[in-house]
Chain A
């Protein structure tokens, strides 16, 4: 059955009217024929998976044909916003979902800025795209109406130029009445580390979504409409004030996120000896990248739609207006780590510049930084040489070479064509098989963050079981690095629903903490809340299930118990694992790079730490058991039947 038949079959089941107050439509877009249809997600989907990421999984599960390949236009690309997106402080997020051309498993990315909120201002919760446009297309959503334009004038443009051109051509104003998702040359060239830009820096990053959108010949989607009020089930703004106060009163927001942003984390990771360095060959690095060294280059902070936190640091290298990459947005901690210690760079200035280049080229700094460090280690070991790199010496810390490689990658020129194949460079025959032991991936996806997780066993388990591959934003038990919580056993047990060892390098109870985080983060994604401001990620004091429960009731009229919301988080993980099962994922894929099992850390207070294979397998089995998964990591029969029923299968 082709994608059109699948869509038709699904549409025959879907309601044509909203199922609850403030619900927006799902837009199905046949890019090849330039035809659109709308419907609404069923109530059973909202009750089991909420919306946003969760409802995206419903659409992908129903429309996926696993006999195709990820870049096939028959495989849909799905955007989704949550039911609280655009309406609640710090809920400005949405997800982008498909079959990853990079990892080969589930692709699911989350971004903020303005697009997820502004699609809802146009009456849309989800956009399901399929078919290859006959020529490069730009889709415009203006006051809810869909228009297609020839994107030829924008082909070849990267992010900075395209945003300027769109503002000039369409006459809207960013952040006031216009938003956009777009690909860059990297996406046009099917670079597997390319993302879909959602702002000057915001990016649907992980798993090659830029390549997926490029394969559909869709250059961008622009929304144009004023913001509007939503007729909610009950007044919700009074409770918004409570949430805003809770956000702004939380120390981590007040003292760190709103002032400096995430680069704060570099220092504790460095001191701990858990800073992934030179492709994780080492685990500590210079203090010259501590956040305070970025202070002179930070003129201010930015934020997403109606978010009071403003956690995004802007940058200005004071190199003058003629320098295209002398100013920008970021870097976040991930970029600081991936382009600092991971590549042997020792000062902040080149990291900031490389960050600005990645934002323009539309490259995921996590995957791009990892693809580069893999290449640099292969070069160091002689597995590749200048014969393979086109004469380029891959010397750790050489920022000029890194900059050159970013541009080559975006154009797939020279050695850039190898880097553009990302983690699949062995599979595509561009690296020898001897390269694989040094590839720092899980389930084919590069590690998202620079933290070396040989010490903190909860971090390690989270990276192993995350449904999109090696990514900390799905389930990281960040409070494991928090001594006051570790030393309060009762409070820690209350947070995670049972005993979790106070010792960061212990395996005891860590599966419970990962399960709790995975649930609440999936719920946060599926209502539209930012991870940084969701309980358990940065603080136990941030909005969590209680606040989501209250605002879901106010905004949508849907009543959830706290147990039902927690269960929705489990459900979302469950359907994601069912999708991955269809794509061939099994227990042996829920693992970690061999380096973390075989090579002990060589510095820091936890020198000698590594992951014990037997302890890891025991922890994984416990995780499966409390997650209602079989010993192969897929939903047990009763759980599976419940999920299928919720999806109308």
Chain B
């Protein structure tokens, strides 16, 4: 099982552009646990409401914890702000 995680630019210094997680993760919370081990402090950063998750280009607007992850998924962390 492997999923790819893509990070926004503000995390590139800590994480690089993307990582491949080769552990059996089946949910976003499980994925965050793995990422926290790899990049200590990252889960606290990602707890900020600004960050959404898109799985295979589908942005999750609710029900994030219940969304299943599968082998080969691409998870992108998308900062969301409004505009003017």
Contact = CB atoms under 8 A, between A and B. Distances in A.
A532 interface: yes
A252 B10 contact: no
Contacts of B81: 252, 256-257, 262, 264-265, 478, 538
A332 B83 contact: yes
Contact of B61 (A476, A481, A540): A481
Given A333-B83, A480-B61, A502-B62, 12 more contacts: A252-B81, A259-B10, A263-B83, A264-B81, A265-B81, A478-B82, A481-B59, A481-B61, A486-B62, A503-B61, A531-B84, A605-B59
A504 interface: yes
Which residue among A256, A263, A478 has the maximum number of chain B CB atoms within 10 Å of its CB?
A256
Interface string A493-529: 0000000001110000000000000000000000000
A334 B84 contact: yes
Contacts of A252: 50, 79, 81
B20 interface: no
Given A259-B10, A268-B52, A481-B52, A487 B62 contact: yes
Q: Closest 4 interchain pairs by CB?
A: A333-B83, A478-B82, A486-B62, A262-B83
A485 B65 CA distance: 13
Nearest to A541: B49
B36 to A, nearest CB: 16
Contact of B53 (A251, A264, A483, A540): A483
B79 A256 contact: yes
B19 interface: no
Contacts of A487: 62-65
A9 interface: no
A267 B48 CA distance: 18
B62 A292 contact: no
Interface string A386-424: 000000000000000000000000000000000000000
Given A487-B64, A504-B62, A482 B83 contact: no
Given A483-B64, A605-B58, A538 B82 contact: yes
B13 to A, nearest CB: 12
A289 B10 CA distance: 18
A504 B47 CA distance: 20
Interface residues of A, number: 44
Interface of B: 9-10, 47-54, 57-65, 76, 78-84
A28 interface: no
A537 interface: yes
14 contacts: A252-B50, A252-B81, A256-B50, A259-B9, A262-B81, A265-B83, A268-B78, A268-B79, A332-B83, A482-B49, A483-B53, A531-B84, A532-B82, A538-B81
Given A255-B50, A539-B50, A540-B49, A482 B63 contact: no
Contacts of B54: 271
B40 to A, nearest CB: 18
A478 B78 CA distance: 15
B28 to A, nearest CB: 9
Contacts of B52: 268, 481-483
A449 B62 contact: no
Nearest to A254: B10
Nearest to A530: B84
Contacts of B78: 267-268, 271
A511 to B, nearest CB: 19
Contacts of A484: 47, 49, 51, 64
A129 to B, nearest CB: 26
For the residues of B in contact with A, the DSSP-based class is: loop
Which residue among B52, B57, B83 has the maximum number of chain A CB atoms within 10 Å of its CB?
B83
Given A268-B59, A481-B52, A485-B49, A333 B64 contact: no
A485 B64 CA distance: 11
A480 B48 CA distance: 15
A146 interface: no
A257 B80 CA distance: 11
Interface string A353-379: 000000000000000000000000000
Contacts of B64: 483-484, 487
Contacts of B61: 272, 480-483, 486, 503-504
A329 B79 CA distance: 23
Which residue among A449, A480, A605 has the maximum number of chain B CB atoms within 10 Å of its CB?
A605
Given A487-B63, A487-B64, A502-B62, A539 B49 contact: yes
Contacts of A479: 49
Given A292-B9, A483-B61, A255 B79 contact: yes
A533 to B, nearest CB: 11
A473 B84 CA distance: 8
A486 B67 CA distance: 14
Which residue among A257, A271, A295, A478 has the maximum number of chain B CB atoms within 10 Å of its CB?
A271
A313 to B, nearest CB: 12
Contacts of A531: 84
Contacts of B83: 262-263, 265, 332-334, 449
A435 B51 CA distance: 41
Nearest to B49: A484
Nearest to A271: B59
A201 to B, nearest CB: 11
Nearest to B54: A271
A486 to B, nearest CB: 4
Nearest to B46: A484
A449 to B, nearest CB: 6
B84 to A, nearest CB: 5
A486 B61 CA distance: 7
Contacts of B53: 483
A268 B80 contact: yes
B50 A483 contact: no
A265 B65 contact: no
Given A255-B10, A259-B10, A268-B78, A532 B84 contact: yes
B84 A483 contact: no
Contacts of A532: 82, 84
B9 to A, nearest CB: 6
Nearest to A284: B57
A503 B50 contact: no
Contact of A482 (B47, B58, B65, B80): B80
